[in-house]
Amino acid sequence: MSTVVNLRTVRKRKQRDAKAKAAAENRIHFGRTKAERDSSAMERNRADRELDGNRRDPEQDPGDGETKG
């Protein structure tokens, strides 16, 4: 005698496996997690703010007193 198999659970298991396979392919294809993207965006924003904060305004910069010419 063979064992009795519930076809509904077999079908559902097959669908779950197919979804898991598609998800794995998408992770490979699209790459980074949301946490990695958010972290990268925060780092980029921090660097932009730091750069803007250290920017020198040419109108207010007296220079070093040298003249060209």
Q: Report yes or no on 67 lying in a domain.
A: no
Q: Report yes or no on 56 lying in a domain.
A: no
Give the pLDDT of residue 68.
61
* Count of positions (residues) in the chain: 69
Q: Which helix (H) or strand (E) holds 28?
A: helix 7-30
This model's pTM is above 0.95: no
Range of the domain at 44: 22-51
pLDDT 10s per residue in the chain (69 long)?
788 889 999 999 999 999 999 999 998 888 888 898 899 999 999 999 998 888 887 777 666 656 665
**Number of structural domains, the chain?**
1
Q: Report yes or no on 62 lying in a domain.
A: no
3-state secondary structure of 27: helix
Q: Report yes or no on 28 lying in a domain.
A: yes
Q: Report yes or no on 57 lying in a domain.
A: no
As a whole number of Å, the CA-based R_g of the chain is 30
Give the pLDDT of residue 58.
74
